[in-house]
Structure 1
Amino acid sequence: MTQDNDSQTPPTNNAAAQNSGERIAKILARAGVGSRRAVERMIAAGMVRRFGHLISDPATKITDVNGITVDGRPVQPPEPPRLWKYHKPRGQVTTYHDPEGRTTVFEGLPQDTPRVVAVGRLDINTEGLLLLTNDGGLARWLELPANGWRRTYRVRAHGSINRRALDEIRKGAIIEGVAYRPAEIEIEENDSSNVWLNVTLTEGKNREVRKLLEYAGLSVNRLIRTAYGPFTLGKQPRYKLLEIPSSQLKIDVAGYFNETDSDTPQHNDDSPRAKPVRKETWAKAKPKNNVRRAGKQKRRPATTDGNSKPQKAASTRAAAKPATRQAVVKKANTGNLSSRRRPKS
């Protein structure tokens, strides 16, 4: 693999520079190289270099794409996020290269289309609305179940509906050990051979619509995605690619622009929003609870005087006075071990 000119030198690798940037996978995804996970695979395969130096750690932080090459080709600075609606027909696969030689979504796009990634996937037999973007970070943000983007499908299926199973799906079902979020299902038409339904999901598990309706006694024979959040298919012809105007995009995905413009994003790019918050809360709560328990020599049975509240803190401090500092530390440590074995629910 060819390297860049040796006269170019990488920026100084000091602590300030490392802490000021963002993960390389995130920046390259934003530049349209691929999804964040695809970029991580490229790094693992030894395809990513900076000023000729191999980058092997996906946690590497950078501030820009200056000097970055992927498979020997320079990476261009990211353009402003753009989003397109594509009417995918049946028979196309949502991938750049198919080992079986099947037609891909990207082969038939107009010549002037920049490199784009798909927001989620539609399998080969599913048709309808597929969102494409030049910003891998935006694609990831639109895919995250934590952000609650609604996917709506029009479905034709054959079989006899199991109403009890259908009600279960509407509340959230566990099928073959996999938990599915509640789905909205409306029966549109029902004749002797087929039934038409509208199904709305807030996540995109593999073949989710087909598996849910199979659980309800139906076999899907046509599946059309008609909407993804505020973006609708309408009467857009098959194979047609339409770009969302930038002014409208800033309204429809305002949350994404707010997060990327902020110095402190609302959620971690690698996981749903709730996870970092939950970990931080646990870390702070344990020492407080353990220290309080260390001084309470007679915590059980709880003493009440017609009140649901426990005794005031003054009595706790009084009970703790005779204990030596070593005894308190010893009990606090014992409390830590106990709380780890049986965390409070």
Structure 2
Amino acid sequence: MATSSERFSDGERIAKFLARAGVCSRRDAERLIADGRVKVNGKVLDTPAFKVSEKDKVQVDGRPIGAAAPTRVWRYHKPTGLVTTHRDPAGRPTVFEHLPPELPRVISVGRLDLTSEGLLLLTNDGELARKLELPSNGWVRRYRARAYGRVTQEELDYLRDGVTVEGVRYGAIDAKLERGAGANAWISVAITEGKNREVRRVLDAIGLKVNRLIRVSYGPFQLGTMEPGAVEEIPAKVLREQLGQKRGE
């Protein structure tokens, strides 16, 4: 077994290497290592602190893993009815089962739940995905929510200072009433944290039941007029302009 004393003096940590190679997230890479599924130069690793260089032969479940390919990012219009996971224990259809076969292995930047739709960013760089999910980046996620119930702009303004729902604190939320005639209201919502089911839970707390939720942008990237199920790669030049030091390089 390779131990923590057998580290390289240079290179990068194996978990980060696997994430950047698009195998999985850094956290999942640590789980793979803990399960004994990762080898370097034929030795099973027992620590995510092990460093690798370009000369090392890395394997996951016996499959050779090459050095990280150039960072690529795609926009995907996620339809409803798909879960954002590579495997679902309940057997529900997943986003990754419905992607074009020519795409390399990709990781989602954050998630959209089963009944949510709209913009989902995909990347072959797990380290970048982790960085873009961090609230500290300050990237705004914008949604359009259709919700059953009646609400005023004054009630929505209450969310600007954040709100606590069932013991969970949510940060500032910018919510604007687009139209509220009839039983349903359309509301534009902007958040920076992206906690699990945040928009649904916060609007539920003020008496609204969300029955449709569409993410229209994530940071500088827009859903635009993409059809449900469509995938479009973001040009490398645009990535350089928009991501800067967030690329994890």
Both proteins in one fold, TM over 0.5? yes
How many residues of Structure 1 are paired with residues of Structure 2 in the alignment? 246
Partner residue in 2 for 1:97: 87
1:166 shift after superposition? 2.9
1:90 shift after superposition? 0.3
Aligned mates of 1:22, 1:205 — CA distance in 2: 30
| Structure with higher helix content | 1
- Which letter does structure 1 place at the counterpart of 2:56? N
| Pair 1:153 & 2:143 matched | yes
| Pair 1:224 & 2:214 matched | yes
Q: Secondary structure at the match of 2:225?
A: coil
- Which letter does structure 2 place at the counterpart of 1:74? P
Aligned mates of 1:62, 1:165 — CA distance in 2: 54
Q: Secondary structure at the match of 2:241?
A: helix
Q: Secondary structure at the match of 1:253?
A: helix
1:167 shift after superposition? 3.0
Deviations 1:141-176 (A, max 9, x none): 110011111100000001132766533311111222
Aligned mates of 2:6, 2:91 — CA distance in 1: 47
Partner residue in 1 for 2:43: 53
Deviations 1:249-303 (A, max 9, x none): 111101224x62xxxxxxxxxxxxxxxxxxxxxxxxxxxxxxxxxxxxxxxxxxx
Aligned mates of 1:65, 1:181 — CA distance in 2: 45
| Pair 1:27 & 2:26 matched | no
Partner residue in 1 for 2:241: 251
- TM-score, with length taken from structure 2: 0.94
Q: Secondary structure at the match of 1:161?
A: coil
Aligned mates of 1:65, 1:103 — CA distance in 2: 39
C-alpha RMSD of the superposition: 1.7
- Which letter does structure 1 place at the counterpart of 2:218? Y
Q: Secondary structure at the match of 2:47?
A: coil
Partner residue in 2 for 1:124: 114
Q: 1:178 to 1:49 in 2, by over 3 A?
A: same
Deviations 1:27-77 (A, max 9, x none): 110000001111111111111011111111112222337311001100021
Partner residue in 1 for 2:184: 194
Gaps of 5+ in 1: 1-9, 261-345
CA contact (8 A) 2:152 2:177 kept: no
CA contact (8 A) 2:159 2:173 kept: yes
- TM-score, with length taken from structure 1: 0.68
How does 1:5-16 map onto structure 2 within 5 Å? Answer: none
Deviations 1:237-260 (A, max 9, x none): 111100000011111101224x62
Q: Secondary structure at the match of 1:90?
A: coil
- Which letter does structure 2 place at the counterpart of 1:45? D
Aligned mates of 1:160, 1:59 — CA distance in 2: 53
- Which letter does structure 2 place at the counterpart of 1:214? D
Between the aligned residues of both structures, percent identity stands at 51
| Structure with higher strand content | 2
The structure with higher relative contact order (CA 8 Å, sep 6+) is 2
CA contact (8 A) 1:98 1:104 kept: yes
Aligned mates of 1:130, 1:57 — CA distance in 2: 32
Aligned mates of 2:197, 2:54 — CA distance in 1: 37
Gaps of 5+ in 2: none
Q: 1:65 to 1:78 in 2, by over 3 A?
A: farther
CA contact (8 A) 2:157 2:175 kept: no
